[in-house]
Copies of this chain bind each other. A is one copy, B any other.
Amino acid sequence: MVNENFEELKHTDVINAMQAAAPEEEAALAELYESMHQKHMIPLWTQIDDLMPNEPSPNAVPHMWRWSDILPVAEKAGELVPVGRGGERRAIALANPGLDGRPFITPTLWAAIQYLGGHEVAPEHRHSQNAFRFVVEGEGVWTVVNGDPVAMRRGDLLLTPGWNFHGHHNDTEHPMAWIDGLDIPLVQYLDTGFFEFGIDRVTDEASPDISRSERLWGNPGLRPVSAVDDTINSPVGAYRWEYTDRALREQLKLEDEGQPATVEPGHAAVRYINPTTGGDIMSTIRAEFHRLRAGTQTRPTREVGSSVYQVFSGRGEFLLDGVKNTVETGDILVVPSWTQWQINAETEFDLFKFGDQPVIERLNFNRRLVEGDNQ
């Protein structure tokens, strides 16, 4: 059914080939376009190539930030900028170079390094935006989510789904830095954001080893009978490194035993889920952890939707649309929609990943192209 001749063409090729207007036609057209402009009207035919490309052509670009660049900037901000009411957080966003200087790592996602000095408190607030934190190093801060203090430690994923009051307090003398992921750009784009200030400290300054949410939800395959109604977002405050690490280790051992467990040879991966549904942790953000054996090379893949990786440990390279990025612990990489990505693990290679796939899937725009698969 497809017009074979046009298959590789773009709209503009066709338009250009068709146009050779006489001067008087050009004048009439100019007048028409001006009258449209007056009435806030714009023709499709002059813009269709940008509006409806043959395949996704994101403004966002692949980019990599080094941890060795990010961390010193955050430390400097720790010296100069107070944390507290108004600015709310000492968070520094990674700005995709393709996105016009806006503080967004992808069109939908915000990624920032947050920095909290010894004994500092980031005051409570709540907002429609969904948030998580991932800890690549350090410990000593408790994030208090709806009154439940949640310890933050290396390798942990901590959740603050939309409209939960939350603040952070550093219970030690030492500063701590971590990564924040939010759907700030999406919420701004959709005009869906609400924000409320809470108290100026945190509602519970205790520093328990484990949060109440984990005590309720932290046992595999069990849910409280007092909480059998499903929740939109995960009720779990913390996903601990101990379990993530064990799950990945077991997948690789099972692979060694010849059992199905990994996503491809040498490539173990877990998705963080909402235990009430088995689905993604929050409506707009997917989070996963991937481990590659040294020497593993993933299959070149394109996916609709955008993803961010932070190297948790090890060393390897990302080929993004053919460009090699060598990365190590703490480095952060963004893979825009439909960019071809391939990962090569130099050492055992641990990667935290998050992305906007729940948005893409809920709106039924998901598509995926893996080199070597039948289309």
Contacts and interface: CB of A to CB of B under 8 A. Distances in A.
Interface string A243-263: 110110011011001011111
Number of copies of this chain that the complex holds:
4
A259 B146 CA distance: 12
Interface stretch (A77-85, A134-142, A323-331): A77-85
A263 B107 contact: no
Given A226-B262, A262-B226, A11 B88 contact: yes
Interface string A56-87: 11101001010001100100110011101111
Given A88-B44, A127-B52, A216-B254, A337 B191 contact: yes
A367 B228 CA distance: 16
A92 to B, nearest CB: 5
Interface stretch (A168-176, A273-281, A342-350): A273-281
Interface centre among A2, A44, A306 (most CB of B within 10 A): A44
Interface size class on chain A is: 35 or more
Interface in A193-212: 193-200, 203, 212
A360 interface: yes
Contacts of A247: 216, 219, 222, 224
A103 interface: yes
A41 B261 contact: no
A193 B50 CA distance: 11
A292 to B, nearest CB: 13
A270 to B, nearest CB: 4
15 contacts: A2-B198, A13-B86, A15-B87, A18-B85, A28-B80, A35-B73, A42-B92, A43-B91, A44-B89, A56-B191, A107-B191, A190-B304, A192-B363, A224-B269, A225-B269
